[in-house]
Chains A and B, each alone.
Chain A
Amino acid sequence: MTIRNLDTIGDDPFSGNEYDVCICGTGPAGMTVALKLADSHRVCLLEAGDLEFTKRSQSLYEGVVSGEDYADLDTIRFRQFGGSSVAWGGTCRPLDARDFEKRPLVKYSGWPIRREDLDPYLAEARDILNANHGEREHCSHPAPDWLPPMDGYEEMSYWESYPRVNVGVKYRAFVENHKNIDCFLNANVTDIRLDDGLRSVTHFEVTGYDDRKFLVRARQFVVAAGGIENPRILLNANRQIPSGIGNENDLVGRFFAEHPHHQLGEFILEDEPKKRLDEELNKPRKPIELTGRFFRPDDQKMRDERLLNHSLEFEPVTTPARTGGDGLFKRTLRTMLCASETIREAAEAVKDGAITCEQNVDGYVTISSEQEPNHESRVRLADERDRFGLRKADLHWRHSALDRRTVREAAYYAASKLALSHTGRMRLERWLREEEVHLPGPHANTASIVYGPHHMCSTRMSDSPETGVVDPDCRVFSCDNLYIAGSSVFSTAGFANPTLTIVQLALRLADHLKTRLA
C-alpha cells in the first residue's frame, strides 16, 4: 500500500505474501495493467529503477549494437518509475485495421486478433494518455489548399498527449495510496523460476543493488519492461530451460522492428501555395494542433506498388527564418554556399551554427514507415554481462529490401508530386539518390532521425508457437501464467507511434487476467 525502496528495507518484504499478479515494469504497459487490476486484486509492482533517474539503474540498459547502425541502448529507453514515458514524445494513433490483416506481399503479416478487438479500449487508453483532445480522426482542409491532392494517399491525423503524460508522475499518488498495490523500487527481476513441470511460474527472483535476492510469489506474472528488455529477461531466465523461457522455437527476440523514420528532403513552394501556407500558419492554433500534414497510402497503392504501410509528413518551417531573418546579402550568400552539397554536409556535421543550410526552405518531408517482419532482425544476448551477472542485450536490427524500397518510392512520389502539380520543388537527401538505397543510421552524416525509438515485435503475438512467442491473450505459449505486455507483442509494427496500442493491449490483458483470477 505504498511505494517502498528495496535499498532501505531490512526484512524480506515478500516473505509470506502471495500476490494475485506480479508485474515487472512501471511504464505505460505495466502501469496500465496495475491500474486496472488493483481495485479487485492484490498487485505487486516491481520497478528496477528509482522514482527519478539514477546512473546505477540506467547503466543496466547498456548493451551491444551489432546490426544496423543504432543509438547506444542506454540512451533510448529509461529504467525508472514511469519507464520510457518519462521522455515520451506524446504522439498517439491507433494501428490501421489493415495492419492486422494478412498481406500476400508480406511474409509473417497478420495478427491473430483484429483491430475490432482493441477498439473497445481506445477511449480509456486515450484518457490514460491525456490524448482525448481534438476529435480529428480525418482531416479536411478548406480549398484552396497549399498542398495538391495526393492521389494514392489519404490524409490522416494524430492525437497529441496534452499535457504530455509521464505515467510515473500521473499515477504516482494512485500507486502510493492504493491498498492493493505494493510497489518496490530498485527491484531488478533477475530470474523467472518455474515449477518442476516447467509449465508455470512460481516466483520472480528480485535482486537489489546491495545484491540481496528475494522471491516474489504470485498467481499470475507479467513482464512489461520494454521491447528490448522483455526478450532479454526471458532469454536470461535459463537456469531451468537452457534456451530461456518461451524460446522453445528460437523465436524470443526475433522479428524485432523499429519505425524507420527519415527526413527525405526539403521543399520550397511556388508563389500561390506559399501564400496559402502563410495564411494557414498565421491562423491561431491550439497547443495540440500539429502544423504538419500527414498522409498514408491507400490500400490499392500499397497493393499495386508493393509497399509497406507508412506515413508521409509535409512539415512547414514555422520559425521566423522562413520569412527572412537575415539581410539579403547574407541570405543570398548562404543560399549559394549551401547549393554545394559538400558545404551543406560539412555544415550539418559541424552543427555549430557557423553555416546553417536549413533556413530558406518552406518545409521538410519526413517518413515513418512500417518494417517487414524479419526473422533475422533480433534482440539476442551478448557475451558481456551486467553487474548482476546477466548477459546484456545485443540489438541486431536489420532492414529488408522492402523496407528500403518503401522509403525510396515514397520519397520520389513526394518530390515528383510537388513539381508536377506546380506546388513546389523538393530536394532529395543524398542517400536517396544512390543507386542502391541504404537507410542511414544515427551516426551517418545526414539530417535524418532514424528511429522512433519504438521497440516492437520481439516477443510477437501469433496463433501458433511456430511463428510467435505469445498467444492472442499475450500469454507465453509454453507457460500457463506468464504474460508479456508492451509493444514486444506486436505481430507487425504498422507505422503509428506504438504507445496508444500498448495501452489498449494492456487494458485488454487486464480484462483477461481478471477472468483468469476470478
Chain B
Amino acid sequence: MFSTTRRHFLRQLIGLPLLGGVLAPIVLKGGRETAGERLLMVNGWVVLESDLDP
C-alpha cells in the first residue's frame, strides 16, 4: 500500500497533476494476485486502476 505521501508522489510521477493523464488500457496477463484490479498505462507507468481514484 502507498501512504498518502507516497501516493501523492506516484501521482506526480505519472503526471496526473500536470497532464490529467493519458489513459490507455494495456493488454497484460495477470490479475491473478489481485482479482478484479485492472492495469492501465499512464504516461508509460503501469499502474492499477485504483491508483487513479481521486
- Distance in angstroms between the alpha carbons of A425 and B2 in the assembled complex: 11
Report the minimum CB–CB distance from B11 to chain A (whole Å): 9
A96 contacts across to B, CB distance below 8 A: none
Count chain A residues whose beta carbon lies closer than 8 angstroms to a beta carbon of B: 33
In the complex, the number of residue pairs spanning A and B with C-beta atoms less than 8 Å apart equals: 93
Q: Is A412 an interface residue (CB 8 A)?
A: yes
B1 contacts across to A, CB distance below 8 A: 270-272, 422
- Distance in angstroms between the alpha carbons of A412 and B6 in the assembled complex: 23
B-facing residues in A301-345 (Cβ within 8 Å): 332, 335-336, 338-341
- Distance in angstroms between the alpha carbons of A101 and B4 in the assembled complex: 51
Report the minimum CB–CB distance from A415 to chain B (whole Å): 4
Selected contact of A332 from candidates B12, B31, B51, CB within 8 Å? B12
Closest B-chain residue to A421, C-beta based? B33
Is A336 within 8 A of B44, CB to CB? no
Whether A265 contacts B44 in the complex (CB less than 8 A), given A270-B2, A336-B17, A339-B18, comes out as yes
B3 contacts across to A, CB distance below 8 A: 271
Whether A268 contacts B10 in the complex (CB less than 8 A), given A416-B39, A420-B34, comes out as yes
Is B47 within 8 A of A340, CB to CB? no
Indicate the member of B6, B19, B31, B33 with the most A CB atoms within 10 Å: B33
Q: Is A382 an interface residue (CB 8 A)?
A: no
Q: How large is the interface on B (under 10, 10 to 19, 20 to 34, 35 or more residues)?
A: 20 to 34
Closest B-chain residue to A337, C-beta based? B18
- Distance in angstroms between the alpha carbons of A270 and B3 in the assembled complex: 8
Selected contact of A428 from candidates B6, B31, B46, CB within 8 Å? B46
A338 contacts across to B, CB distance below 8 A: 13
- Distance in angstroms between the alpha carbons of A426 and B51 in the assembled complex: 13
Indicate the member of A270, A336, A339, A422 with the most B CB atoms within 10 Å: A339
User: What secondary structure prevails in chain A residues at the interface with B?
Assistant: helix
Q: Is A514 an interface residue (CB 8 A)?
A: no
Is B2 within 8 A of A416, CB to CB? no
B-facing residues in A405-432 (Cβ within 8 Å): 412-413, 415-422, 425-430
Selected contact of A416 from candidates B6, B15, B46, CB within 8 Å? B46
B32 contacts across to A, CB distance below 8 A: 420
- Distance in angstroms between the alpha carbons of A337 and B44 in the assembled complex: 15
Is B31 within 8 A of A420, CB to CB? yes
User: Which B positions have Cβ atoms within 8 angstroms of A?
Assistant: 1-3, 6, 9-10, 12-15, 17-19, 26, 28-34, 37, 39, 41, 43-48, 51
Closest 10 CB pairs of A and B: A339-B15, A415-B46, A416-B28, A427-B44, A427-B45, A416-B30, A335-B12, A420-B33, A420-B30, A271-B3
Name 26 A/B residue pairs within 8 A (Cβ), A-sorted: A270-B1, A332-B12, A336-B17, A338-B13, A339-B12, A339-B14, A339-B15, A339-B18, A340-B18, A360-B13, A361-B13, A416-B29, A419-B47, A419-B48, A420-B30, A420-B32, A420-B33, A420-B34, A420-B39, A421-B33, A425-B51, A427-B14, A427-B44, A427-B46, A428-B45, A430-B44
